[in-house]
């Protein structure tokens, strides 16, 4: 009777420890799987947004037996929410894995992002276990959508004709006066020092006329004084 009681206690203890061992083994598989599979992992929409619902699709799987899904948001302890009644395996405070049996070549599930507004990205991982015992993975990173502001350049104005300022007017006048002086000087310097005979005669007559007029004016003023 005592031996039967001991056997039952061992079976009960084994039932309690088995899930913990299986969880630890699954976490190690997820942590140590580095090789990429030939199947495809697609997440839509492709940009990250808090509280958004994403469709996670795994296609092109051949001879797969099980699939492990993991979401790793940045800067958050919440891993979001996977839909359906799936087995959730907690690996750490910020990491957990959802496990589901796989039948067929394609698999689809939805995932809801955490509501934390500080999260800027999230990495979605899919681990597929095959009939030969190997496990291969695929990953896709969701990042925030970058909004690029388009700056429209201001319209360029056509060049206005140059209007001379008062300073420019004075400068032009000085320039014209200078040119006139130079021309006058050049003309005077190129005149012959010798005058023609006709010019000399006209100058002599003019001098005589002026002399006679001066004498006449002197005599006229003398008579006025005597009177």
CB 122 within 8 A of CB 56: no
- pLDDT, tens only, 156-174: 665 555 565 555 555 555 4
Residue 173 covered by a domain: no
- pLDDT, tens only, 56-65: 999 999 999 9
| Greater pLDDT, 165 or 177 | 165
- pLDDT, tens only, 21-43: 457 788 998 899 999 999 999 99
State how far the Cα of 78 lies from the Cα of 97, in Å rounded to an integer.
13
Q: What is the CATH number of the domain that holds 124?
A: 2.60.40.4060
Residue 150 covered by a domain: no
pLDDT at 8 over 50: no
For residue 55, what pLDDT is reported? 97
CB 55 within 8 A of CB 43: yes
Residue 121 covered by a domain: yes
User: How confident is residue 92, by pLDDT bands cut at 50, 70 and 90?
Assistant: confident
Q: Token pair for residue 150? A: 């388009």
Residue 82 covered by a domain: yes
How distant is the alpha carbon of residue 86 from its chain centre?
Answer: 43
Length of the chain counted residue by residue: 227
| The total number of structural domains that make up the chain | 1
Contacts of 38 (CB under 8 A, 6+ apart): 60, 136
Residue 51 covered by a domain: yes
pTM: 0.57
State how far the Cα of 201 lies from the Cα of 96, in Å rounded to an integer.
130
pLDDT at 177 over 60: no
For residue 14, what pLDDT is reported? 39
CB 64 within 8 A of CB 128: yes
- pLDDT, tens only, 120-146: 999 999 999 999 999 999 999 999 988
pLDDT at 153 over 50: yes
For residue 26, what pLDDT is reported? 86
Computed on alpha carbons and rounded to an integer, the radius of gyration of the chain in Å comes to: 55
Residue 37 covered by a domain: yes
Q: Which 3 state secondary structure label does DSSP give 153?
A: coil
DSSP sequence for 77-133: S---EE-SS-EEEE-SSS-EEEEEE--SS-EEEEEE----TT--EEEEEEEEEETTS
| Greater pLDDT, 184 or 132 | 132
CB 90 within 8 A of CB 144: no
Residue 4 covered by a domain: no
> 116 lies in which domain range?
28-144
pLDDT at 217 over 80: no
Average pLDDT value for the chain: 74
Residue 18 covered by a domain: no
Q: Starting at the earlier edge strand, list the strands of the sheet with 96-101.
A: 47-48, 135-144, 121-130, 64-73, 96-101, 87-90
């Amino acid at each position: 009777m005592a031996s039967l009681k001991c056997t039952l206690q061992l079976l009960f203890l084994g039932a309690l420890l088995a899930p913990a061992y299986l969880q630890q083994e699954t976490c190690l598989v997820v942590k140590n799987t580095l090789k990429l599979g030939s199947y495809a992992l697609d997440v839509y929409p492709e940009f990250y947004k808090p509280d958004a619902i994403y469709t996670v699709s795994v296609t092109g799987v051949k001879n797969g037996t099980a699939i492990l899904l993991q979401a790793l948001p940045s800067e958050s302890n919440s891993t979001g929410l996977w839909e359906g009644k799936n087995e959730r395996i907690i690996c750490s405070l910020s990491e957990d894995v959802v496990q589901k049996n796989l039948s067929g070549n394609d698999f689809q599930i939805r995932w809801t992002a955490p509501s934390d507004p500080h999260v800027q990205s999230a990495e979605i991982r899919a681990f597929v276990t095959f009939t030969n015992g190997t496990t291969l993975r695929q990953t896709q990173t969701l990042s925030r959508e970058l909004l690029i502001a388009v700056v429209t350049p201001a319209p360029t104005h056509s060049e206005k004709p140059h209007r001379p300022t008062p300073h420019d007017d004075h400068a032009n006048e000085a320039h014209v006066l200078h040119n006139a002086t130079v021309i006058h000087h050049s003309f005077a310097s190129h005149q012959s020092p010798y005058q023609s005979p006709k010019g000399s005669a006209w100058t002599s007559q003019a001098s005589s006329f002026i002399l006679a007029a001066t004498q006449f004016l002197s005599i006229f003023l003398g008579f006025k004084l005597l009177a």
